[in-house]
Amino acid sequence: MPEVACLYLQDGTLWRGRSVGLSGTKWGELCFNTGMTGYQEIFTDPSYAGQIVLCTHPHIGNYGTCDAEQESSKIQINGLICRSFSHNFSRIDAQKSLFQYFKDQKIIAIDEIDTRSLVRHIRNQGAMNAVISTETDNVSELAAYLSQCPAMDGLELSSAVTTSCPYTVGDETAPYHVAALDFGIKRSILTMLNMYGCRVTVFPANVSISELLIYQFDGYFLSNGPGDPAAMNYALKTVQELTKQDKPIFGICMGHQLLGLSFGLQTYKMFNGHRGLNHPVKNLQTGLSEITSQNHGFAISMDSLKKSAEVSLSHINLNDNTVEGIIIRDKPFFSVQYHPESSPGPHDSHYLFQKFVQLMAN
């Protein structure tokens, strides 16, 4: 018989479900993702490090897993909660079941949770730490365990997911050579940069400006990543030095936030964050809207942006009017909060890579 599993939230709420077959106890910040497909890409996205993911789509695992759909070398989430976990899958090019995929990497998952009710709960109460366990349902024990876990606000996580040493991807004859600062970079981003004529050398998050200036890069890419950008002083210092070089800079997600911080803007932890494949964003320069893929729990403060003499708002979220993109006046620097390499639109945001390449060409 399947093991009983439970979910204990920081606000003292207890939810009961069923273990999908993997035992243990694990904590993380509980957040929900509204995507109907792409669960493997979600689970392997380094921006999800330190989080327990709640999938709003009811069926997870029904098309198995495939190595080509990994965004990094391993599963990055701390745990999974879903309505119905499928041990069986149906897809010709799938290589293994999601259960085997989780089992190989010792990731806990529970299902038979009323995910609609749970999403409404954390949508109203906000993202918070939680613990999932197949080992105990004792509230006192779970509360004591959770009390020892750090909050996401102020937590630095990029150093745990970044590359340990530099590496290069792409054609050596590519017209542009780009340095990518890896705060938790996704493989599909590198693929997109390669597609647009860039050879990319990826550096650890703690790379120094002196290491970068050894090379004559045509531009700099600041990647996505997990955790609180305000806790990354080491990376902020490097980005501030890069802005003195006048070489094109393109940032996304964490890189977007660090670019904003380097010009005196402020960031804050969002009540729930944005995670899903259908977030509408308006480009204020063209008047066009994009359907975007997003995964972030922090954002740039709109109030601090409005006070800036150097930074302009380029994109805005049409759901909640939060900052989705910035440009630096009179500089070849720009960034967006969402993930433009993904294709929910289907290719609404690919023009940003073209813009980056054009800046390097100029």
What one-character-per-residue DSSP string does 8-72 give?
EETTS-EEEEEE-S---EEEEEEEEE--SS-HHHHHT-GGGTTEEEEESSSEESTT-B-GGG-SS
Torsion of CA 61, 64, 69, 71, to 10 degrees: 40
Q: What's the confidence (pLDDT) of residue 1?
A: 52
Please give the structure tokens belonging to residue 177. 């050579």
End-to-end CA, the chain: 65
Per the annotation, the verdict on 339 as an active-site residue is yes
Q: Cβ contacts of residue 358 below 8 Å, gap of 6+?
A: none
Per the annotation, the verdict on 341 as an active-site residue is yes
Which of 253, 296, 315, 350 is catalytic? The answer is 253
Which of 274, 279, 339, 350 is catalytic? The answer is 339
Q: What's the confidence (pLDDT) of residue 338?
A: 96
Q: How large is the angle between the packed helices 233-242 and 254-262, nearest 10 degrees? A: 70
Closest C-alpha among 235, 357, 231, 345 to residue 292: 345
Give the pLDDT means over successive 10-residue stretches in the chain (362 positions): 86 95 93 92 96 96 95 96 95 95 95 96 95 94 95 96 97 97 97 97 97 95 97 97 96 98 98 93 96 95 97 98 98 97 80 97 94
Which of 156, 290, 324, 341 is catalytic? The answer is 341
Per the annotation, the verdict on 172 as an active-site residue is no
pLDDT tens digits along 210-223: 999 999 999 999 99
Checking DSSP bridges between strand 219-222 and strand 176-182, what pairing results, if any? Answer: parallel
Rg (CA), the chain: 20
User: Which residue shows structure tokens 């509408």?
Assistant: 280
